[in-house]
Amino acid sequence: MNVLEKANAIKNGELTALENVNNYIKVIDEKNPSINAFIEINKENAINKAKEIDEKISNGEEVGQLAGIVFGIKANINVEDYTISAASKTLEDYIGSYDATVIKRIKAEDGIIIGINNMDEFAAGSSTETSYYGVCNNPAAPGRITGGSSGGGAASIAAGMCDIALGSDTGGSIRNPSSHCGVEGFKPTYGLVSRQGLLDLSMSLDQIGPISGDVTGLTLALDTIAGYDPEECTTLNNELPNFTEIAVNTKGMELPLKGMKIAKVKEFTEVTDDKINEVVDKAIDKLVSLGAELVELNFDYIDICLPTYYLINYVEFFSATRKYDGREYASRIEETCGEEVLRRIEIGSYISQQEYSGKFYKKALQARSLIRNQINEMLEDVDLIVGPTVPKLPHKIGTKLEPMEMYAYDVLTVIANLAGIPAASIKAGEVEGIPVGLQLQAKPEDDEKIIQAISAFEL
């Protein structure tokens, strides 16, 4: 049963919201101690909300489109009365005093929040090993990292602990763990979803998005959280499609991708392990069999993507963390944070100094424009760019990597954030039992084309 079918079953009385919640509580009790996908759970609140929804349904009252659907929320998105720590000791005592816009919209549609997902500290990582609350174990490849920084969300979906997880993606933080855990993750067009209430890592790159086990989980979430927010200046005020209708209608077509042109990029395969490329190529062949036309393109700037991304990230992260000075609601971050967070703060501070900002940060912004312009040019003649999500398999937990080795996980995902385009990762297959992701990228505000391709791929 996919998420849409479950939502309909709850509304039709074939399944109760309480049964759905209790089923997940049982799985969480059994699996979370070893996986550590959730760092805070509120069973009582979820049960009470489920009972309210069931009572409404039994009385014939109208309920929202997410009635009875269970969510996990990344620990950097504000949820009232939950500990919103960003998985850091710095914020271990911070209790959310309000709901982020995306949370208000989920609650308004009767979605049920069961708990807070683990993550890399302040979203600064690609493995969910930097969390103050401990490493997150990959349910799809035990003993290996989940990826990050939304590793807890991806793990909670892979382990069957909730219907949908909400994450944030700055340079691949939804798509990277979705690839490693064998689930589906979607980073919307920059500005499609409000970031009001998100503890930002890099304001010009961050975007909130969903993780789920099937396309209807992604679409139900998008249909709820996407849209203009007058409280958030980057949100787009445009008419949006019904993503769930697109997903459902696509499944009824004989050749659902007929007329769609997709592109492989030579440079993306060159930086990726051969075994991953073999699996991804088979997934691309499947898209072709569903009617898509395949072409090959070249991308000139693969070598500058990571340094461009991290230079911007360092400066914006340093700026964002100045409010954690120990005077209001947090400890002084430099005194309580982990090694990777401190590294980014120190480098960001260095680059932000007047004599260096022009040399590094402004050059990074110029490089970002080159990357964005070429990606947009590539997408003028094709509907989707398809290829590997992550260039290498997840390492075993505890493996010591140098910073640049860890950053290398992000080389194919940072591009979408630098360009502001939508991107998703779905399971392409496995290499030696370890999930491998297929990444799909589209031009800005063509999010529905990615949804169409995911829905077709699931047939």
Per-residue pLDDT reduced to its tens digit, 279-303:
999 999 999 999 999 999 999 999 9
What confidence score (pLDDT) does residue 40 get? 98
What confidence score (pLDDT) does residue 360 get? 87
Q: Is the pLDDT of residue 355 over 80?
A: no
Instruction: Work out the pLDDT band at 361, boundaries 50, 70, 90.
Output: confident
Q: Which whole number is the average pLDDT over 417-442?
A: 98
Annotated catalytic residue, options 6, 31, 49, 74: 74
Q: Is the pLDDT of residue 146 over 90?
A: yes
**What is the DSSP secondary structure assignment for residue 408, as one 8-state letter?**
G
Q: Which whole number is the average pLDDT over 352-363?
A: 81
Q: Is the pLDDT of residue 354 over 80?
A: no
Q: Provide long-range contacts, Cβ within 8 A and 24+ apart, for 235-242.
A: 235/191, 235/192, 235/193, 235/194, 236/189, 236/191, 236/192, 236/445, 238/445, 240/192, 241/448
Q: Which whole number is the average pLDDT over 396-400?
A: 95
pLDDT in tens, 442-453: 999 999 999 999
Q: What percent of the chain has pLDDT over 70?
A: 100
Instruction: Work out the pLDDT band at 434, boundaries 50, 70, 90.
Output: very high
Strands 434-441 and 384-388: antiparallel
Q: Which whole number is the average pLDDT over 101-127?
A: 98
What confidence score (pLDDT) does residue 358 get? 75
For residue 40, give every residue at least 6 positions away whose Cβ sits within 8 Å of its Cβ, in sequence order, or none. Answer: 75, 82, 83, 115, 116
Q: Which whole number is the average pLDDT over 230-242?
A: 95
Higher pLDDT, 170 or 328: 170
Q: Is the pLDDT of residue 26 over 80?
A: yes
Distance in Å from the first CA to the final CA of the chain: 14
Structure tokens at 89: 């000791």
CB 325 within 8 A of CB 332: yes
Q: Is the pLDDT of residue 359 over 90?
A: no
Annotated catalytic residue, options 85, 88, 131, 149: 149
For residue 289, give every residue at least 6 positions away whose Cβ sits within 8 Å of its Cβ, in sequence order, or none. Answer: none
pTM here is 0.97
What confidence score (pLDDT) does residue 356 get? 73
**What is the DSSP secondary structure assignment for residue 359, as one 8-state letter?**
I
CA distance 433 to 458: 20
CB 352 within 8 A of CB 320: no
CA distance 223 to 145: 31
CA distance 86 to 368: 27
What confidence score (pLDDT) does residue 81 get? 97
Q: What percent of the chain has pLDDT over 90?
A: 94
CA distance 36 to 152: 7
Q: Is the pLDDT of residue 223 over 80?
A: yes
- Computed over its alpha carbons, how large is the radius of gyration of the chain? 21
For residue 106, give every residue at least 6 positions away whose Cβ sits within 8 Å of its Cβ, in sequence order, or none. Answer: 66, 71, 113, 166, 221, 224, 225
CA distance 105 to 7: 16
Q: Could you tell me if residue 123 is left (phi over 0), alpha (psi between -120 and 50 degrees) or otherwise beta?
A: left
Q: Is the pLDDT of residue 327 over 90?
A: no
CB 321 within 8 A of CB 345: yes
What confidence score (pLDDT) does residue 410 get? 97
What confidence score (pLDDT) does residue 333 get? 95
Q: Exposed/middle/buried for 307, CB within 10 Å: 0-12, 13-18, 19+?
A: middle
* Structural domains of the chain in order of their starting residue, each with its CATH number: 3-458 (3.90.1300.10)
Q: Which whole number is the average pLDDT over 210-225?
A: 98
Q: Is 74 among the catalytic positions?
A: yes
What confidence score (pLDDT) does residue 279 get? 98
CB 66 within 8 A of CB 167: no
Q: Is 149 among the catalytic positions?
A: yes
Annotated catalytic residue, options 126, 150, 173, 178: 173
CA distance 34 to 179: 20
**SS3 labels along 2-60:** CHHHHHHHHHCCCCCHHHHHHHHHHHHHHHHHHHCCEEEECHHHHHHHHHHHHHHHHCC
Instruction: Work out the pLDDT band at 329, boundaries 50, 70, 90.
Output: confident
Q: Is 202 among the catalytic positions?
A: no
Average pLDDT across the chain, whole number: 96
Instruction: Work out the pLDDT band at 63, boundaries 50, 70, 90.
Output: very high
